[in-house]
């Protein structure tokens, strides 16, 4: 099912993001996770694309195909363009078509040291424009409630985001964030700038202190004072931090649902037990909104 069709049916769309196992692991190592995640009945599961973009590292289509055709859950395949070209993207799209996959998340990606930059695609909007020639794809895109780390300010980032929408992106997933106020401000600004597509809020339950340090260094997301207090209180025990981080994510999601977010995209890091804990807590709220 096209993701745009899901948004026509639901006020609040709920999805998971997973990453493929490394090429050195048999694909079967992820079967149990997929079985458990699909059993939680998300509206779709998205599958990341390795940053370098080499064929041997990328099992995105293989996973998207499994999710859709073995586990009967709509899938969204990510694709980055920064180190690719029109021929590489065309081959990816044709492989998607051959597997009856139609949902694609068009990304620029981040530069990998030592790899040549694309001669064809500078921004995600260039990739979206190229894919939109195919007509039969639903194109999603990424967005950043606190602004993308290379952007001088949020306004400029949202102006650039509008180009992505004008080039065919019809749904957005946000980068994870910890302060819902940033999401609400972003939505207000985006709507003012004429971005009307559904925006799903990206939420990641934090399991330990090392994870939060890695996320902050990679993405530059802000840690609000109330979350810093949790880290100070529970960060020295993985067990306590996992409980506090999961509760924090659940509270964040309930607040987002009650304030009319178009959807929740859960960064679940292939952790089915965590997905189950969050889903059982938030699904009554999602069901109630969708029944209205």
**Catalytic machinery residues:** 17
Candidate list 43, 157, 179, 182; residue touching ligand FAD; CB under 6 A: 157
Q: How far is the CB of 56 from ligand FAD (least distance, A)?
A: 16
Binding mask 169-208 vs ligand FAD (x if CB under 6 A, - otherwise)?
Answer: ----x-x--------------------------x------
d(CA 40, CA 32): 13
Candidate list 11, 62, 120, 123; residue touching ligand FAD; CB under 6 A: 123
Binding of residue 124 to ligand FAD (CB under 6 A): yes
d(CA 50, CA 158): 26
Region from 67-75, 119-127, 209-217, 221-229 binding ligand FAD, contact rule CB under 6 A: 119-127
Q: How far is the CB of 127 from ligand FAD (least distance, A)?
A: 8
Two tokens at 12? 């609040």
Which residues in 55-84 contact ligand FAD (CB under 6 A)? 78, 80
Which residues in 243-262 contact ligand FAD (CB under 6 A)? none
Q: Which residues pair with 79 in a beta bridge?
A: 106
Burial 232-241 (b: 16+ CB within 10 A, else e): eebbeeeeeb
Binding of residue 129 to ligand FAD (CB under 6 A): no
Q: Which residues pair with 203 in a beta bridge?
A: 266
Q: How far is the CB of 203 from ligand FAD (least distance, A)?
A: 11
Q: Which residues pair with 47 in a beta bridge?
A: 18, 77
d(CA 127, CA 155): 22
Binding of residue 38 to ligand FAD (CB under 6 A): no
Q: How big is the site for ligand FAD, counted in residues (CB under 6 A)?
A: 23
Region from 36-44, 159-167, 229-237, 275-283 binding ligand FAD, contact rule CB under 6 A: 159-167
Candidate list 20, 42, 74, 109; residue touching ligand FAD; CB under 6 A: 109
Q: How far is the CB of 288 from ligand FAD (least distance, A)?
A: 26
d(CA 187, CA 198): 10
Q: How far is the CB of 125 from ligand FAD (least distance, A)?
A: 5
Two tokens at 21? 């196992």
d(CA 249, CA 46): 19
Long-range contacts of 245-252 (CB under 8 A, 24+ apart): 245/205, 245/206, 245/207, 245/208, 246/205, 246/207, 246/274, 246/277, 246/278, 248/178, 248/205, 248/206, 249/203, 249/204, 249/205, 249/206, 249/278, 250/205, 250/278, 250/281, 250/282, 252/178, 252/180, 252/203
SS3 53: coil
d(CA 292, CA 280): 20
Binding of residue 151 to ligand FAD (CB under 6 A): yes
Region from 6-14, 149-157, 208-216, 247-255 binding ligand FAD, contact rule CB under 6 A: 149-157
State the residues that interact with ligand FAD by CB under 6 A.
48-49, 51, 78, 80, 107-110, 123-125, 142, 148, 150-151, 157, 160, 163-164, 173, 175, 202
């Amino acid at each position: 099912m096209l993701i745009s069709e899901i948004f026509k049916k639901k006020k609040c769309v709920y999805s998971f993001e997973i990453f493929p196992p490394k090429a050195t692991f048999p694909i079967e190592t992820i079967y149990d996770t997929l079985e458990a995640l699909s059993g939680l009945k998300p509206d779709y599961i998205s599958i990341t694309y390795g940053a370098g973009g080499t064929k041997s590292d990328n099992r995105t289509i293989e996973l998207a195909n499994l999710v859709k055709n073995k586990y009967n859950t709509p899938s969204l395949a990510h694709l980055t363009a920064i180190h690719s070209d029109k021929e590489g993207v065309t081959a990816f799209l044709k492989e998607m078509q051959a597997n009856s996959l139609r949902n694609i998340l068009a990304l620029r990606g981040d530069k990998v040291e030592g790899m040549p930059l694309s001669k064809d695609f500078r921004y995600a909007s260039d990739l979206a424009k190229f894919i939109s020639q195919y007509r039969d794809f639903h194109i999603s895109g990424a967005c950043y409630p606190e602004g993308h780390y290379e952007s001088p300010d949020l306004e400029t980032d949202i102006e650039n985001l509008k180009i992505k929408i004008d080039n065919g992106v019809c749904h957005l997933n946000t980068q994870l964030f910890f302060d819902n106020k940033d999401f609400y401000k972003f939505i207000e600004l985006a709507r003012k700038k004429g971005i009307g597509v559904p925006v799903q809020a990206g939420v990641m339950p934090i399991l330990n202190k090392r994870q939060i340090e890695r996320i902050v260094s990679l993405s530059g997301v802000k840690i609000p004072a109330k979350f810093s207090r949790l880290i100070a209180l529970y960060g020295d025990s993985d067990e306590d931090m996992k409980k506090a981080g999961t509760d924090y994510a659940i509270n964040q999601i309930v607040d987002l649902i009650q304030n009319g977010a178009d959807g929740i995209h859960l960064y679940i890091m292939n952790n089915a037990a965590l997905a189950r804990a969050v889903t059982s807590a938030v699904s009554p709220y999602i069901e109630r909104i969708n029944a209205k």
